[in-house]
Amino acid sequence: MTQEKGDGKEFISHAPGYWPEISQELWNDWKWQLKNRVTSLAQLEQHVELSDEERSGVLLSGDKLALAVTPHFFNLLPDDNPDDPIRRQVIPRIEETWASPYDMADPCGEDSHMPVPGLVHRYPDRVLFLVTDRCASYCRYCTRSRVVSGAGEQELHINFEEAFRYLEEHTEVRDVLLSGGDALIFSDERLDKLLSRLRSIPHIEFVRIGTRVPIFLPQRITPELCAMLAKHHPLWMSVHVNHPRELTTEVKQALERLANAGIPLGNQSVLLAGVNDDLETMKTLVHKLLMCRVRPYYIYQCDLINGSAHLRTSVAKGIEIIEGLRGHTTGYAVPQFVIDAPGGGGKVPINPGYILYHDNEKIVIRNYEGKIFEYPETGNEQVQFAPQREYHDEYLYS
């Protein structure tokens, strides 16, 4: 099934795609989708023509990060193009076995900030709660490939009661982010119980869920799930879309159901070589996200995870993309470009150089058109505001 070549601007349904014999009822059953994920070389080769790099990568994937792709997401893969931006995200490649001097097993330093198993406390007032090591599908650049999927070098040990006790004792924690793995693969009942337990802790003001389930498995976003989540407001959700083709008709409907349940939605993309490392692709993506009622939130520079060098692109490329968005489209469509500082330094915002000069009297700035402006520092009323003075060379090249 060769996919149509397009720019991804339209919302398209690809069902049933590679599964024409499956009834609509089964196709829309999220448990059927999970049960029938593509997880082996033989299944892949039933549908797509693999390159040598992909075939070798699949044979070795069990040593690093398992292969698993839901039928819904698999239908986005063309059968004849190993360089397709969707295939690059979920089909293993031999390059995952190549070592880079910059690679790290735990690039975000989570293990060193884990006071109890499964709970990462790196920022003063918020924690990351790793509630599972399983996902609907596995991204080949996964930051937690060391513990996710059961194939990595570590196991994710979770002690829920110890984590709850820690949260009860640490009253400075006001924000809990559920991640893993992906919490939305839990049953409604199990997730409801987890959220209720967190909500019973008075100083926790709101809960966030980081998930790719609405994109990998939109069938999971049922009216019943949305009604249950709405009981636990304020509840926020960060989804993960990297390429505009991922936003299918089914995904749009799933995201709208979440938004209709009062859940604010933000998107986190990872900047990936051959996937979204160009301005037009990213602009199409952020515009489609807004149409799905999702606010573009972050673009992440790809973490230095082991075996991800072939997917990493330059920081300069990320700055170039932000430069091409800021001022050229609505501010709601412009995410923050960040680097998660290696070793556990946290998210560092990376911006184009809009500040050209700054002292105790004034700040000199440029806008998206390259025009130069002065703004006086507070308390220095004697400084005259002089927009667009002719000192471009003085500040730009000194």
Active site amino acids: 122-123, 126, 135, 139, 142, 144, 303, 340, 347
**Closest CA relative to residue 368, chosen from 316, 398, 331, 317:** 331
CA-to-CA separations, 363 to 112, 319, 377, 380, in angstroms, rounded: 39, 22, 7, 12
Which positions ≥6 away from 136 have C-beta within 8 Å? 33, 34, 37, 68, 70, 182, 185, 212, 213, 216, 217, 220
- How long is the chain? 398
Q: Name residue, tokens 């984590």.
A: 163
Distance CA(270)–CA(297), nearest Å, equals 11
Distance CA(21)–CA(128), nearest Å, equals 42
Distance CA(206)–CA(362), nearest Å, equals 39
How many beta carbons lie within 10 A of that of residue 303, not counting itself? 21
- Residue 114, Cα to own-chain centre: how many angstroms? 22
Check if the beta carbon of residue 239 is closer than 8 Å to that of residue 268. Answer: yes
Distance CA(339)–CA(347), nearest Å, equals 6
- Residue 224, Cα to own-chain centre: how many angstroms? 25
**Closest CA relative to residue 146, chosen from 122, 176, 114:** 114
Q: Return the bridge partners of 355, or none.
A: 365
CA-to-CA separations, 12 to 15, 248, 280, 344, 352, in angstroms, rounded: 9, 5, 19, 39, 34
State the first-to-last Cα distance of the chain, in angstroms, to the nearest integer: 56
* 26, 27, 32, 37 alpha-carbon torsion, rounded to 10°: 150
